[in-house]
């Protein structure tokens, strides 16, 4: 149809529609441009400026939070918005730096360990070489063993790791200054420098340590090790135990204690052995046992109450989680503790153990073991928080992507959970993001109350690492009994670096350390 036949009214409308389209596109583009610009984080910033304070219905106010910011200003930092007018009350609020939250400096160490971090080419036993990281020339680093009540001192020296290193004591509720989070509780230890960690072992169980500077590449590359805290003498029968640290090195090399294939642990026929499984990977794994029934003695360093015998079922380990299994060596042959791609054979030298495929069913800890007093009554909660994980397109520090969200916001528009010492806290963690997230809170243990509204009916189930599947929700509770600034993040470490992290902050605690691209600190 010839265009000249269009009548003048129609072409005016067409002209107008085109103009409108251009204007709308320009506005949209300006909106996107603004969102991009607004997402760019300052070169350095304080953890206390990340997130929107969430008081969970408990005491607290903007003025209180401005009081916390006062500490930041006193540290001489100018970046970020100036705190709003500080009220007299807030000025009077005692603030304390995270660096002062330490173990008794006058107390001598009972256990002292020196660890030297190095960039090195590593070849796992039976595996392929890769460029990774060692502690004292090995990966995993040396296992640290102490007894409950002892003061543990670990001197970390960085020989030549260019990005700097730290050590975080995963699951050990250390004083805040010792938590090892670069940019929050300390500066990354640069090559040639050292840092001394000191804490009293107030728990007993299976834990682990790992770098919390550039943690994704450094942990995958080997900067981790086991921490075994034994119960104080005489409290339980001494049982033979063996660590089984599960790790996948670069190139997809699945290992137990740094070796591919079958590992061996010598044990007498008829003896029982506590196998301390540690999942140091970023994804969940299952473990199962052939040749013996077993009991799950502990999860995340917390003994289960009345754990029953299990047969034909697997145990699921969240990323970062531990499970202590008690296995009995048969009179003939050996027990095999298996994870996909690697096994530990427990028995006399040379004894054989069958392999088996992974059982379809797993132990559901929500209903495993016997109930017992938890010492925590969620009805007394002082604060109730929501940690709702989703995913949205947007910008993270200027980078376009499909980013994780917490309560609908992309970092830094995430909640900062504010508590006072002594609070009982209930948190509802929900996940509608399409993927599983192993949620990890530093410095505290969480009591699982319910999953998808179904209450926990077995042993009290305390965790520091909890898998929340897509579509699931958990209700957990804890007592705020360890003042500090504590990361609360996904332990799928790439996810954390994609913004799935926030923190729990005690009112009045400040940090002099800085995050951001110019700070030299990059905890994930
Ligand atoms: Cu095991 Cu924040 O880490
Ligand atoms: Cu995740």
Q: What is the pLDDT of residues 158-198, one digit of tens each?
A: 999 999 999 999 999 999 999 999 999 999 999 999 999 99
Contact present, 248 and 222 (Cβ < 8 Å): no
Residue 440 beta carbon below 6 angstroms from any ligand 1 atom: yes
Sheet holding 194-200, edge to edge: 130-135, 111-122, 151-158, 194-200
CA of 185 to the centre of ligand 1 (A): 13
- Grade residue 227 by pLDDT with cuts at 50, 70 and 90: very high
| pLDDT number for residue 60 | 82
Is any atom of ligand 1 closer than 6 Å to the C-beta of 247? no
Partner residues linked to 392 by β-bridges:
403
Residues with Cβ < 8 Å from 501, sequence gap 6 or more?
Answer: 411, 487, 488, 489, 490, 524
In whole angstroms, what is the distance from residue 428 CA to residue 452 CA? 10
The pLDDT of residue 235 is 60
Q: What is the pLDDT of residue 90?
A: 38
Give per-residue pLDDT as tens, 356-412. Answer: 999 999 999 999 999 999 999 999 999 999 999 999 999 999 999 999 999 999 999
Residue nearest atom 1 in ligand 1 by C-alpha distance:
170
Q: pLDDT tens across 71-118, in order?
A: 333 333 333 333 333 233 333 457 899 999 999 999 999 999 999 999
Q: Are 195 and 186 in contact (CB under 8 A)?
A: yes
CB 491 less than 6 A from any atom of ligand 1: yes
Does 239-363 match 47-77+373-510 at the fold level? yes
Determine the Cα–Cα distance for residues 155 and 141; give it in Å rounded to an integer: 13
- Give me the chain's average pLDDT, please: 91
Task: Compute the average pLDDT of residues 52-56.
Answer: 95
Q: What is the average per-residue pLDDT within 6-30?
A: 83
Ligand 1 center from residue 442 Cα (angstroms): 7
CATH of domain 47-77+373-510: 2.60.40.420
168 lines ligand 1 (CB under 6 A): yes
Tell me how far the alpha carbon of residue 496 lies from the centroid of ligand 2, in angstroms: 7
- The verdict on whether omega for the bond into residue 295 sits within 30 degrees of 0, i.e. cis, is no
Q: Verify whether ligand 1 is closer than 6 Å to residue 320 (CB atom).
A: yes
- Return the residue whose CA atom lies nearest to atom 3 of ligand 1: 170
Confidence of residue 236 (pLDDT cuts 50, 70, 90): low
Task: At 287, give phi and psi (nearest 5°).
Answer: -135, 145
Helical (H) or strand (E) element with 206: strand 205-210
Residue 129: φ, ψ to 5°: -70, 150
Quick one: three-class SS letters along 17-79?
A: HHHHHHHHHHHHHHHHHHHHHHHCCCCCECHHHCCEEECCCCCCCHHHHHHHHHHHHHCCCCC
Q: Give the class (CATH, top level) of 239-363.
A: mainly beta
Nearest-ligand number for the alpha carbon of 470: 2
Does 210 sit in the ligand 1 pocket, CB within 6 Å? yes
Ligand showing the shortest atom-to-Cα distance for residue 282 = 2
Percent of the chain with pLDDT over 90: 83
Domain spans, the chain: 47-77+373-510, 109-235, 239-363
Q: Does residue 271 have a pLDDT over 90? A: yes
Task: Please give the distance, rounded to the nearest whole angstrom, from the Cα atom of residue 315 to the centre of ligand 1.
Answer: 21
| Structure confidence at residue 39 as a pLDDT band (50, 70, 90) | confident
- DSSP, collapsed to helix, strand or coil, labels residue 227 as strand
- At residue 423, φ and ψ (nearest 5 deg) are -65, 145
Residue 208 Cα: closest atom of ligand 1: 1
Q: Do 323 and 277 touch, CB atoms closer than 8 A? A: yes
Q: Separation of 61 CA from ligand 2 center, angstroms?
A: 31
Q: Which CATH superfamily is domain 109-235 in?
A: Cupredoxins -  blue copper proteins (2.60.40.420)
- Which residue is it, tokens 């900067």? 223
CA of 236 to the centre of ligand 2 (A): 37
* Residue 220, helix vs strand vs coil: helix
């Amino acid at each position: 149809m010839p265009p000249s036949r269009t009548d003048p009214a129609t072409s005016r409308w067409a002209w107008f529609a085109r103009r409108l389209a251009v204007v709308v596109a320009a506005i949209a583009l300006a909106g996107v441009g603004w969102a991009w610009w607004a997402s760019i984080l300052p070169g350095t910033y304080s953890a206390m400026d990340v997130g929107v304070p969430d008081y969970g219905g408990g005491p607290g106010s903007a003025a209180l939070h401005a009081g916390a910011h006062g500490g930041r200003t006193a540290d001489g930092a100018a970046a970020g918005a100036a705190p709003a007018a500080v009220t007299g009350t807030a000025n009077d609020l005692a603030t304390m730096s995270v660096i002062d939250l330490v173990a008794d400096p006058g107390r001598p160490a009972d256990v002292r360990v020196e660890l030297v971090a190095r960039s090195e080419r590593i070849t796992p036993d039976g595996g392929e070489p890769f460029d990774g990281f060692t502690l004292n020339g090995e990966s995993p680093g040396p296992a640290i063993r102490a007894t409950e009540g002892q003061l543990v001192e670990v001197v970390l020296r960085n020989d030549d790791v260019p990005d700097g290193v730290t050590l975080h004591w995963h699951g050990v509720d250390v004083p805040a200054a010792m938590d090892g989070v670069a940019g929050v509780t300390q500066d990354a230890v640069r090559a040639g420098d050292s840092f001394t960690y000191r804490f009293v072992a107030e728990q007993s169980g299976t834990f682990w340590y790992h770098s919390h500077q550039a943690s994704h590449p450094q942990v995958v590359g080997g900067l981790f090790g086991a921490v075994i805290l034994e119960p104080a003498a005489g409290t339980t029968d001494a049982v033979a135990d063996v660590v089984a640290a599960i790790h996948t090195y670069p190139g997809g090399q699945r290992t137990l204690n740094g070796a591919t294939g079958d590992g061996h642990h010598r044990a007498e026929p008829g003896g029982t052995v506590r196998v301390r499984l540690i999942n140091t990977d970023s994804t969940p794994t299952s473990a199962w046992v052939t040749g013996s029934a077993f009991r799950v003695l502990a999860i995340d360093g917390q003994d289960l109450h009345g754990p029953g015998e299990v047969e034909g079922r697997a145990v699921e380990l969240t990323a970062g989680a531990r499970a202590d299994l008690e296995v009995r060596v048969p009179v003939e042959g050996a027990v095999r503790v298996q994870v996909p791609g690697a096994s530990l054979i427990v028995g006399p030298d040379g004894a054989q153990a069958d392999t088996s495929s992974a059982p379809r069913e797993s132990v559901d800890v929500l209903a495993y073991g016997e109930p017992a007093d938890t010492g925590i009554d969620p009805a007394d909660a002082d604060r109730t928080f929501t940690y709702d994980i989703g995913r949205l397109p947007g910008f993270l520090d200027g980078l376009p992507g499909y980013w994780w969200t917490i309560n609908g916001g992309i970092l830094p528009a995430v909640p900062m959970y504010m508590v006072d010492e002594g609070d009982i806290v209930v948190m509802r963690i929900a996940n509608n993001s399409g993927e599983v997230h192993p949620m990890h809170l530093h410095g505290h243990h969480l009591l699982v109350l319910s999953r998808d509204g179904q209450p926990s009916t077995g042993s009290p189930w305390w965790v520091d690492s909890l898998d929340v599947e897509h579509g699931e929700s958990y209700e957990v509770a804890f007592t705020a009994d360890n003042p500090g600034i504590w990361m609360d993040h996904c332990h799928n470490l790439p996810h954390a670096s994609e913004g799935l992290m926030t923190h729990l902050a005690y009112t009045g605690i400040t940090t002099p350390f800085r995050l951001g691209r110019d700070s030299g600190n990059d905890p994930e």
